[in-house]
Amino acid sequence: MDLEVKGVAISPRSQAQSFSGRKKPLQQGCTSRSWAMQNTCLPVVPRLDLGSLVDSDDEEKDIIPENLPAPTDKYKLKYQQYKTEMKEGYKQYSQRNAEKTKSNITHQQSPRNKVDDKCVQGEEAITDDLTTLDRKALLQQGYADSPYITQWITRKSDAEIVATEKKKQTVAEQVMVDHLSRAVISDPEQNLTTEKQESAHIFPVGNIAPLRFRKRTLHETKIRTHSTLTENMLSSKVQFDGRIISRNGRDACRELIGLFFTHDQSLTIYEYRQFGKNRTNVLPFIQKNIYSHQRGRRKGKQYQLGDFYIGANLTFLNSDHLRLPESIKENTLLILRITNVDQIALDSLKTDSVEHEDDINSQEASDRLVFRAIQDELKEQLHKRGVRILTGLGKYFQQLDKEGNGLLDKADFKKALKVFHLEVSEENFEPSWLILNDNGNGKVDYGEFKRAIIGEMNEYRKTFVRKAFMKLDFNKTGSVPITVIRKCYCAKKHPQVISGHFTEEQLKSSFLETLKDACSKSDEVSYGEFEDYYEGLSIGIVDDEDFVNILRTPWGI
């Protein structure tokens, strides 16, 4: 049997001959084919043993050395933890999807939502009226369908909890330093006669004794400390976190931590500032004093323990606080929203002597029902169009606000609702207007009007919106350039990108297009516009964790 190698025939007897031409150098210009023809004795080609060939699986097994050391218990434990977390994560994800499907079915069939055939047909008509911007904005909801990375989220949340506790501890220590009663230590130079006599025997004339040789004693003095508070008095407190309700990004993103003291019904608020990674500072924002409500049903009534809960508003007169930033002083009232409360301390301090104001509570409950009715009326109209309508309303209100004070009259609000095709019955509009126009001047802040008739996302969702904006606005200017948003936005983990239906650049461009449409300036985004965008996106999302995932995945928070 003759073998054919590169077109050259080789006989079996040629295998026994020695290859003498291997050691001779090749002549210049000689091709490989001519060299092969001149040298008939070629290298010996080993016989191909087909029986020695094995499958690829067996070959891969043979590659692994037999003397490989076994993995240690540490790596076995890590692998087992990773395997368990992945299984648990996908299990929770599948359960959440199943529950979401059931909730959607019950949501459509429950009498609470009053969804009949006409409402369903109206919703289909609204879906048919969706614009290109609406469809591009709805692409952001796809992040809610991606499974959560349990290990990464747990590590992030643990770090955030540690940082939050550190902030609260820093503020509590600063409050103690500022308000505790401190004894006055005598001046070392007060008793000049005794000091001179003692120093004359030990030190030459003209020299001052070192501090360790000076006599320092407590003595009677006319100097008095401003505070007579003790640590026991200051320990009966409730700590809470707050934010300023403002469209100004610098003010809205201030980190405020307050304390309410039950011994005298006073409160104080501090601002926590961080410079870089290691430098921090805690400054008084609202001085410790006894304050009262400045608007609403409780106007003129002193703050009490029952006024502190998540979502409650605290109002202060800016004229009483001269050290506030100029951007806040532009308005008459400073409105703070409580975002978190030390619930354990609050429950322990509550007693039977807490306010008994059943009439006010019932009035506030009826006010909430009025707003709930108008919100339910607009909910179906805003479904899947919330981003375009809310961002458009924000821009339109700014155009109507010629004076720049944020106040508009009833005719302006009705005109805006008509422009954006939001139908509100007169029986729902009039009661809500009477509640909002509590001072009777005929004008209402358009931000407050929008929050009242359309509603707003809860504080848990809004916390993540502020985190995302604060990450983008690292210079704390209150606005973010579009170029920075393009760099920071990551669409790699979007299900449509993973499946190949969209590229990362296409999804990023669709997001920027819808966001630019919400901005008054083409090259930057303000905090108010950023919040309006996600406020509209939040309307169509039922589950809080789904909304948080929409923010967490592209922004890495």
Question: Which of 454, 392, 381 lies closest to 126, judged by CA?
Answer: 381
Q: What are phi and psi of 271, to 5 degrees?
A: -105, 130
Taking a C-beta distance cutoff of 8 angstroms, is the pair 553, 146 a contact?
Answer: yes
Torsional sign, CA 173, 178, 181, 182: positive
Comparison of pLDDT for 510 and 39, the residue scoring more? 510
pLDDT digits (tens, 9 = 90+) for 244-300: 998 888 999 999 999 999 888 999 999 998 877 778 888 899 999 999 999 888 889
239 contacts: CB under 8 Å, gap ≥ 6: 168, 171, 172, 257, 258, 259, 341, 342, 345
User: Residue 325 corresponds to which amino acid?
Assistant: P
User: Residue 267 corresponds to which amino acid?
Assistant: L
* C-alpha to C-alpha distance for 542 and 438, rounded to whole angstroms: 32
In the prediction, which pLDDT does 31 show? 47
* C-alpha to C-alpha distance for 450 and 453, rounded to whole angstroms: 6
Comparison of pLDDT for 159 and 536, the residue scoring more? 536
Taking a C-beta distance cutoff of 8 angstroms, is the pair 133, 516 a contact?
Answer: no
Q: CB count, 10 Å around CB of 172?
A: 18
Q: For residue 322, give the 3-state DSSP assignment.
A: coil
Q: Is the pLDDT of residue 193 over 80?
A: no
* C-alpha to C-alpha distance for 443 and 413, rounded to whole angstroms: 10
Determine which of 7-16, 250-259, 421-430, 449-458 has the lowest per-residue pLDDT on average: 7-16
417 contacts: CB under 8 Å, gap ≥ 6: 423, 424
* C-alpha to C-alpha distance for 335 and 86, rounded to whole angstroms: 44
In the prediction, which pLDDT does 242 show? 93
Residue 196 parent element (H or E): helix 192-202
Residue 288 parent element (H or E): strand 279-289
Taking a C-beta distance cutoff of 8 angstroms, is the pair 378, 454 a contact?
Answer: yes
Structure tokens at 340: 């978190």
Taking a C-beta distance cutoff of 8 angstroms, is the pair 227, 250 a contact?
Answer: no
Mean pLDDT of 481-497: 89
Question: Which of 194, 325, 197 lies closest to 254, judged by CA?
Answer: 325
Q: pLDDT band at residue 363, thresholds of 50, 70 and 90?
A: confident
Mean pLDDT of 226-237: 75
Q: Is the pLDDT of residue 28 over 50?
A: no
Taking a C-beta distance cutoff of 8 angstroms, is the pair 439, 478 a contact?
Answer: no
Q: Is the pLDDT of residue 240 over 60?
A: yes
Question: Which of 256, 258, 264 lies closest to 234, judged by CA?
Answer: 264
pTM listed for this prediction: 0.66
* C-alpha to C-alpha distance for 19 and 26, rounded to whole angstroms: 15
